[in-house]
Structure 1
Amino acid sequence: MKLKKNQDNLKQIASLIEYAFLKDSDLTTDANFMSRYDHSDGYGYFDQGKLTSYMMVNQFKGEIFGHHVPIAGIGYVSSYPECRGRGHISKLMEEVIHDLHENKILVANLAPFSEDFYRHYGFSNSIYQKEYRFSGDALASFKLPRKGKVLRGKWDDLIVQNGVIQLYERQLHTDDERNTIIREAWWWNRLDSYYHHRDIAVYFDNAGRPMSYLIYRIVDNCFMADELYSITPQGLSSILGFMAAHIGSVKEFCMMLPEKSLLAELFPEQNELDIQLHPYMMSRIIDFQKVLSCMRPLQEGTFNIEVNYDDQCPWNIGVWQLDNHNREVTCERKEDELVDFSGPITAWTQVLLGRLTLKAAIELGLITNYRIKKLDFVKGKVSFYDYF
């Protein structure tokens, strides 16, 4: 059931999360937790008056190829150990999905504790991160910039903060993001309070314009780069030069970058890099018609796309006619039309919001191509990562 915001419910929610996630402090006095709680809807299952299962839902604006759409982030999914396996989380998930549809939310994202579990509810892997690990030797060829400057500070340094936000918002206006949340002020501030030990470095060119930024922390002799964004090659090399300036004080470097990152191409000895790809977020399409309308097809024409299975969102099932002419995309339900492409909602999520091309999904047997038509979509990218 959807929970009312009152002190008794808050106390029970906090106790459950503290136990399930091994928190060692009272969350009701934690400003970081409370900021997220205050911007959330909560769903819980009670057994004889005691909250036994819970999940939190935060709503954001998201960016899907230039469209500002409502997106949900699901987190703090938890149950007491003695109450697990009773289907309580399943009941809550079904209720959440129904309510998201009622509230016209297009997509839900979450970090899974079990990918297989969430696939039962229509979620699919959609966002991946590329991890780079290397010693300082790999950075030896990079130097601090001779022109412009790198300014280091904390989030409360307004020059640093404004530089980051300018760059962040610039990328969101490129219309290339496929499933990226738009960070509001409260979420930026929460990121700062949650990761209070992080520093920020911003490179400004000779004209004082921000060209790149790095959000990082140094933990146990390891330089951890959590977010890197640059709009010019000079900005990128300047940030790498800033990292290289730490060679004498740290032993290892780790960078978490978007899946499409080609940063390795700048290193003279790529074999010094340990590069791994990690699944990060799963997504669930709540409103297939509207998500399909946000896509950017590579081919012009009319295509009949079928969702042949969606157990939790039956409104998605059916044939949707995608029309793309003169860069105008429309989508409407059709009856008794010949189907061009057909698949379950999980496969369509991988194609529309994930990294799979439609061609690859067909080759893997995830999507069926009935009429041998050619269709694929601009893949876009996820430049910024948020954890729910």
Structure 2
Amino acid sequence: MSRQKLQERLKMKEVETKHGEQFNNLLRYVFQVTNHDLQALGWENREIAQAKLPVLKQADVLGWFDGDNLISQLAVYPFQVNIFGQIYEMGGLTGVGTYPEYANLGLMNKLMRQALTNMRERKQSISYLYPYSIPYYRRKGWEMISDKISFEVKDTQLPKLKTVPGNVERVTIEHPDIKQVYQRFALQTHGAMFRNELAWEEYLRWDLDDMTVAIYYDSHHQPMGYLLYWIAEEVFYMKEMVFVNQEARTGLWNFISAHFSMVTRVKGHIYTDEPLAFLLDDGDIKETIAPYYMARIVDISLFLEQYPFQPQETECQFTFVLHDPMLEWNQGIFTLAVDKDGKGHLTKGGSNRDAEFDIQTLTTMLMGYKRASYLARIGRFQANEATVNLLEKLIIRQQPYFSDYF
């Protein structure tokens, strides 16, 4: 059969719960997850199918079908993120895959266009994803916006105990104070995701059964931080440390250091631009940094309606050309005016051309991951010096935090 005839018989439509087994089979094939892998994690086929049912019920899942057979798919989760104190609706892209015999037909490109169109209709003005291929997603308009720093600390390098007024309690993963602490943390942390039930399920789905939680309570017994961890073969593994103040961080590290006689190393991850080495008395530790999550602006007009620029002494504006490889509404000439309170107003058109961006560069710059001056210096966008200086003043200096995975 010719490729043209093959394309003609394929149909794009929503993936429903009745397609759950096909959805899982495609995911497992693309990401090479075997029965042996699942059994090693304590999962059976029945359990993984049940675990993914919430995805099909709560997410926007699109697929290509060859007759009744699902052959290409993606899912968009309905999430929210904190961007410089503003709550944004975010479309979390995941579950992307196509069987190899249907590759190079442009199926995924069309699925992504439709998914992004749906996000725009749902007022999800930004999309996050975990990139299995950074170049591929860059070509589609996404760009890096967060890093993950992995560290390893020897037992002899653990911080010395410091006096704090509160105490740590070990609890089960179902304890309500965990979600309470995380919600407070997300409200004050740029880039962080607000975890709804689906987000918590995704975050904890593949973890070991012996995961332990330690919560730090202050002197008034208010939960101020928590630690998700497990211990195996004399290694203390930190999945996540969340704290709303430095007292809680100190208290949680006191708790880790109290395991001195039980472990030889502590391994974990940090999701902010804050290497652990500087905080330790003995900072001669192993730390590795790797790119983590990508994002792309879905609707530039809607995104900038909410975006909080730095307040200025006077109103300012500039005109720019924007390129987007997939979305026509993000293409063309725009003029951005920002009032003294930092409120932006975007209009289509303009007589000047003060700057020229692609959507990838504009996303990473507005998210604070890379500064305007740096991006201009390395040739990621063109602008006159006055516009670069203006962008430096307008965009808040803070890198995103993102520790989730979906």
Shared fold (TM-score greater than 0.5)? Answer: yes
2:376 maps to 362
Pair 1:372-2:381 in alignment: no
Q: How far apart are the structure 2 equivalents of 1:83 and 1:20? A: 12
Pairing of 1:213-362 with structure 2 (within 5 A): 213-271=226-284, 273-298=285-310, 300=312, 301-362=315-376
- 1:45–1:235 Cα change, 3 Å: same
SS in structure 2 at match of 1:372: helix
What amino acid does structure 2 have at the position aligned with 1:20? V
In the alignment, is the contact (CA less than 8 A) between 2:203 and 2:405 conserved in 1? no
Q: How far apart are the structure 2 equivalents of 1:220 and 1:20? A: 32
1:20 maps to 30
Which of 102, 107, 132 is the matching residue for 1:88?
Answer: 107
User: What do residues 241-300 of structure 1 show as CA deviations (whole Å, max 9, x unaligned)?
Assistant: 1112223333321121123224322211111x1112111111111011222333333462
Instruction: Measure how far apart 1:302 and its partner are.
Output: 1.7
- 1:43–1:236 Cα change, 3 Å: same
- 1:165–1:307 Cα change, 3 Å: farther
In the alignment, is the contact (CA less than 8 A) between 2:17 and 2:53 conserved in 1? no
SS in structure 1 at match of 2:373: helix
1:173 maps to 187
User: What do residues 331-361 of structure 1 show as CA deviations (whole Å, max 9, x unaligned)?
Assistant: 2214233132221111101101251111111
Pairing of 1:144-223 with structure 2 (within 5 A): 147-157=165-175, 161-162=176-177, 164-174=178-188, 176-177=189-190, 179-197=191-209, 198-223=211-236
Instruction: Measure how far apart 1:367 and its partner are.
Output: 1.7
SS in structure 2 at match of 1:2: strand
2:40 maps to none
- 1:333–1:137 Cα change, 3 Å: same
Pairing of 1:82-121 with structure 2 (within 5 A): 82-121=101-140
- 1:352–1:148 Cα change, 3 Å: same
What amino acid does structure 1 have at the position aligned with 2:298? I
Q: Any gaps of 5 or more consecutive residues in structure 1? A: none
Instruction: Measure how far apart 1:102 and its partner are.
Output: 2.6
Worse-superposed segment, 296-305 or 128-137: 296-305
What amino acid does structure 2 have at the position aligned with 1:148? G
What amino acid does structure 1 have at the position aligned with 2:113? E
SS in structure 1 at match of 2:25: helix
The normalised TM-score by structure 1 is: 0.89
In the alignment, is the contact (CA less than 8 A) between 1:324 and 1:330 conserved in 2? yes
1:39 maps to 58
- 1:218–1:319 Cα change, 3 Å: farther
- 1:180–1:199 Cα change, 3 Å: same
Q: How far apart are the structure 2 equivalents of 1:381 and 1:169? A: 19
Corresponding residue pairs, total? 379
Q: How far apart are the structure 2 equivalents of 1:347 and 1:312? A: 15
Instruction: Measure how far apart 1:31 and its partner are.
Output: 3.6
SS in structure 1 at match of 2:304: helix
In the alignment, is the contact (CA less than 8 A) between 1:106 and 1:290 conserved in 2? yes
Instruction: Measure how far apart 1:48 and its partner are.
Output: 4.3
In the alignment, is the contact (CA less than 8 A) between 1:131 and 1:255 conserved in 2? yes
CA RMSD of aligned residues (A): 2.4
What amino acid does structure 1 have at the position aligned with 2:145? S
Q: How far apart are the structure 2 equivalents of 1:365 and 1:31? A: 48
Q: How far apart are the structure 2 equivalents of 1:302 and 1:146? A: 47
The normalised TM-score by structure 2 is: 0.85
User: What do residues 72-113 of structure 1 show as CA deviations (whole Å, max 9, x unaligned)?
Assistant: 111111222333344322222222122222322101111111
- 1:29–1:266 Cα change, 3 Å: closer
Worse-superposed segment, 9-18 or 165-174: 165-174
Q: Any gaps of 5 or more consecutive residues in structure 2? A: 1-11, 36-43
In the alignment, is the contact (CA less than 8 A) between 1:97 and 1:312 conserved in 2? no
SS in structure 1 at match of 2:343: strand
Instruction: Measure how far apart 1:50 and its partner are.
Output: 2.1
Pair 1:2-2:21 in alignment: no
In the alignment, is the contact (CA less than 8 A) between 2:75 and 2:95 conserved in 1? yes
SS in structure 2 at match of 1:270: coil
